[in-house]
Amino acid sequence: MDRVLEDFISTLRGSGVRISLSESLDAAHAVQLVGYDERRLLKDSLAAALAKSAPEKEIFSDCFDRFFSFDFFPEYPEDTPRREAAEGMSSLSRMLLEGDQAGLITTMREAARTENLNAIQFYTQKSLYVMRILDRMGLNGLDRDIRELFLSGSPSSSATAARLEEARDYVYDNVRAYVEDQYRLFSGSEADKMLETYLRNTKLSNLEQRYYQQMQHIIQRLVKKLNDLHSRRKKPSRRGQLDFKQTLRDNIAYQGFLFDPKWKKIKIERPDVVAICDISRSVSRLVRFLLLFLYGLNKEIIHIRSFIFCSNLTEVTHVFDAYPVDEAVARIQAGTDLPILLARTDYDRSFRDFKDQYMDAVTHKTTVLILGDARNNYNDPQTRILKIISERCKKLIWLNPETKPFWGTGDSEMKRYTPYCHVLKECNTLNHLERVVQSLLKK
């Protein structure tokens, strides 16, 4: 496979197009058949081999137009005087004086390939690559020619030197534009990875709203990964251990030959989760992303009932049944058509509401997930009710968005709730949420 096609496939992969080895070989065969002469034919042939879905076709079209762009080194204006290259000048000087656009583009691309421009990852590298490419193109020779022409002292030499000085800026501007274009092509995946790493480790309470869309895309990918992992049908060889006794009994009819082996199967039930979420302002963003996470898994591998509280508590499971997840979360946080009082946080009344109306939701198979900062505005913490929930459920997990040094300070009742929690974790980033959800799905 030639280097140009390899670079182009790397660009597509970095932009999010999934390309297998066999598809890469198909693209190489297509290039062998059609060549690089006919741009339209080449684009259609590569698209047939590499782009599979409508979104991928859009990405492919954009990457192709930018990768195979020749909008560099436009010709000089027609009224600009030209002259034959003088004997002994560098190749770059001759191309500039002769207006050799094709030669300049070819020289720049070869220099970029020699310097491995496709390895660029960070914006701070752009200036470095610009200077390296200019050196490869022969900038030193151009500077020498300009200096010698000025030293000769003749009017024509001085005029030529002046034109070459302008041409030097012209070369620099075009190489810089080319590097910028290639940076956008090749570093897109690295920039996305850096942004994702930043978002996954940023405290959700500090997250700017302009990043909400990216966060939802990250959560969707994580949800898909977990759904694929935990809802995948196991191969027959992984059904379990051999049930030797049952195998012997069922194969008596075959005179002891083990034609029909039986396996010890472990019945795996979907996790039964009750989520009780504080939606006061201090934890509202964390609640948003936790519910997006959990309800993305709800249909396939988690059975969930959800409750929210602030000054009182109410169930919101029906909201998720009636609306898409994004809209449901927005309605819940706004309290739309819900009997929720969005005033001062009151764990006292909220726990009493849960005990009086919804305690039947907790069984020995239930994992209770409480998300809140335990700041109760100095009301009764109702630890007795939390003890009852803890004794009835399979596991009680408390997620607190505050850092541990603040637990138990001021109106925080976290230390009084701690003895009744099976798992107690600081949870304020997407990585924390992912680990909690993964722990719920462990077989």
Q: Which residues have C-beta within 8 Å of that of residue 98, sequence separation ≥ 6?
A: 82, 84, 85
What is the CATH topology of the domain spanning 272-441? Rossmann fold (3.40.50)
Encoded tokens for 193:
């990875």
Average pLDDT for the chain: 83
Encoded tokens for 415:
């230390």
Roughly what angle, to the nearest 10 degrees, separates helices 155-186 and 126-137?
Answer: 140
Q: Is 80 exceeded by the pLDDT of residue 365?
A: yes
pLDDT tens, position by position, 30-88: 888 888 888 889 889 998 889 888 888 888 888 888 788 766 777 654 444 444 445 67
pLDDT tens, position by position, 382-399: 999 999 999 999 999 999
* Low-confidence winner among 36-40, 174-178, 190-194 (lowest mean pLDDT): 190-194
Distance CA 212, CA 210 (A): 6
Distance CA 176, CA 180 (A): 6
The pLDDT of 203-218, averaged and rounded, is 80
**Over pLDDT 70: what percentage of the chain?**
89
* Low-confidence winner among 232-236, 279-283, 376-380, 402-406 (lowest mean pLDDT): 232-236
Tallying the residues shown for the chain, one arrives at: 443
Domain layout of the chain by residue ranges? 3-68, 91-188, 272-441
- The CA-based diameter of the chain, rounded to the nearest angstrom, is 111
Which residue bears the tokens 């994580």? 222
Beta bridge partners of 399: 371, 425
Q: From residue 55, give the alpha-carbon distance in Å to each of 40, 51, 69.
A: 20, 9, 21
231: pLDDT confidence band, cut at 50, 70 and 90?
A: low
pLDDT at 278: 92
Distance CA 58, CA 96 (A): 37
pTM for this predicted structure: 0.60
191: pLDDT confidence band, cut at 50, 70 and 90?
A: low
Strand order in 423-426's β-sheet?
313-315, 303-309, 272-278, 366-371, 395-400, 423-426
Roughly what angle, to the nearest 10 degrees, separates helices 3-14 and 155-186?
Answer: 50
Amino acid at 16: G
pLDDT at 85: 46
Encoded tokens for 251:
């194969």
Distance CA 39, CA 369 (A): 58
Encoded tokens for 348:
């006292």
The pLDDT of 244-257, averaged and rounded, is 77
